[in-house]
Amino acid sequence: MFQSLAVAFDPLPLGALMRTILFALLILVAWMSTIGLAEPVVAWLVESRKLTRARAAAWTGSAAWAIGVVCILSLDYWAFSFSFLGITRTLGLFDVLIILTSFVLLPLVGLTLVLFAGWVLRPETTRAALAMESPCAHDVWLWLNRLAIPLMLVMLLFGVRLFL
């Protein structure tokens, strides 16, 4: 995006202005995403720790900034190598965080979500939310969420290789 769209705007009339507007809007999107991701943490600190909203936002922003600085430094100065699933990783903590999110957190969140949808939510609620008229189709969806998908996610989580 940062290379191809910048080049694509060059031959257009007012291309430099459009490129500037594009990057300004991208900055705005990044800030809004950051606020959206930080808001649950700030709300939790306000409600559970009885901090003021300004102090909770400052703590959250400082912690995010510190984690970001450590990740950036791990790309060069604090880099270290290690092997994971037979692949040598060279970006240190950055690679550790990628592995943690990709191989642990995403499958765990998916597993928790399908177990919640399959076992905790009432079938009438899910049928109405999904607007499924056919009881057979809803039963298939329900039992996929109860058994098949959790089994596949557990196999993914523990690294079971089916097709190797």
**pLDDT for 92-115, tens place per residue?**
888 898 888 988 888 889 999 999
The gap from C-alpha 146 to its chain's centroid, in whole angstroms, comes to 24
Structural domain including 57 reads 1-63
The torsion angles phi and psi of 88, rounded to 5 degrees, stand at -80, 125
Any domain includes 75: no
Residues 106, 48 within the same domain: no
Any domain includes 128: yes
* Chain position carrying tokens 């957190």: 105
Q: What is the pLDDT of residue 43?
A: 97
Any domain includes 38: yes
Residues 118, 52 within the same domain: no
What is the rounded distance in angstroms from the CA atom of residue 55 to the CA atom of residue 40? Answer: 14
Q: Is the dihedral of CA 42, 47, 51, 52 positive or negative?
A: positive
Q: Give the chain's domain count.
A: 2
Any domain includes 71: no
Residue 147: pLDDT over 90: yes
pLDDT by residue (tens digit) across 3-38? 888 788 888 889 889 889 999 999 999 999 999 999
Rg, Å, the chain Cα set = 23
Any domain includes 140: yes
What is the rounded distance in angstroms from the CA atom of residue 103 to the CA atom of residue 155? Answer: 11
Residues 59, 119 within the same domain: no
Q: What is the pLDDT of residue 162?
A: 54
Residues 39, 103 within the same domain: no
Asked if 20 and 7 touch (Cβ cutoff 8 Å), the reply is no
Residues 100, 34 within the same domain: no
Residues 101, 164 within the same domain: yes
Residue 160: pLDDT over 70: no
Any domain includes 108: yes
Residues 107, 159 within the same domain: yes
- Paired residues of 83 in beta bridges: 88
Residues 59, 101 within the same domain: no
pLDDT by residue (tens digit) across 41-95? 999 999 999 999 999 999 999 999 999 998 899 888 888 888 887 888 888 888 8
Any domain includes 153: yes
